[in-house]
């Protein structure tokens, strides 16, 4: 009778080991499937990340097409200017909707985190390291610097 109890115990443990092994194999397979699925989803996300922005840009492109077509027919410079102004405003609105914001650097203290100095110019009327003018605007995307402003910075006159 003692042998039977040990044999039953061994059989029970072997059955349990088989169940754990099966559970492990299923879990490992599920995890591999999860990794493949998330890799695929991530690849698709990055492939189509700009889709919303491009969809928002299509009306701007349509307006450009209409403006250019209208100019080809009439050559009215004033009408072209008005059309370009409208398209520009719509374009800026689309970019701002996406979180783009222009930096206002002129007259500000030079900040290496926001600006790239392309020239230093002596100026008696300004404190040293003041942005005198902006050669190329800088932009934020939400709260992150997307592009540093290229600026001319004041220095002490010699």
Structure tokens, 86: 């409208």
d(CA 2, CA 85): 97
- Return the exposure string of 73-95: e unless at least 16 CB atoms fall within 10 Å of the residue's CB, then b: eeeeeeebeebeeebeebbeebb
| pLDDT tens digits for range 101-124 | 999 999 999 999 999 999 999 999
| Band (151; pLDDT cuts 50, 70, 90) | very high
Average the pLDDT over each of 11-20, 32-41, 60-69, 118-127 and give the range with the smallest value. 60-69
Burial of 127 (0-12, 13-18, 19+ CB in 10 A): exposed
Q: What confidence score (pLDDT) does residue 24 get?
A: 97
pLDDT tens, position by position, 26-43 = 999 999 999 999 999 998
Output the CA torsion sign for 8, 9, 15, 19: positive
Q: pLDDT at residue 62 above 90?
A: yes
CA 134/CA 122 separation, integer angstroms: 16
User: Distance (Å, rounded) from C-alpha 141 to C-alpha 136?
Assistant: 16
- Tokens describing residue 39: 């890799």
Quote the pLDDT of residue 19. Answer: 97
């Amino acid at each position: 009778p003692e042998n039977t109890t040990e044999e039953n115990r061994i059989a029970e443990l072997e059955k349990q080991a088989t169940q754990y092994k099966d559970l492990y194999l299923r879990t490992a397979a599920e995890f591999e499937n999860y990794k493949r699925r998330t890799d695929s989803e991530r690849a698709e996300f990055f492939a189509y990340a700009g889709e919303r922005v491009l969809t928002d840009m299509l009306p701007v492109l349509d307006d450009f097409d209409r403006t250019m077509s209208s100019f080809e027919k009439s050559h009215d410079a004033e009408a072209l200017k008005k059309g370009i102004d409208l398209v520009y405003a719509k374009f800026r609105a689309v970019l701002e909707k996406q979180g783009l914001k222009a930096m206002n650097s002129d007259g500000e203290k030079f900040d290496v985190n926001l600006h790239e100095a392309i020239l230093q110019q002596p100026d008696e009327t300004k404190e040293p390291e003041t942005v005198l003018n902006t050669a190329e605007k800088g932009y934020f995307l939400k709260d992150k610097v997307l592009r540093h402003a290229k600026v001319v910075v004041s220095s002490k006159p010699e």
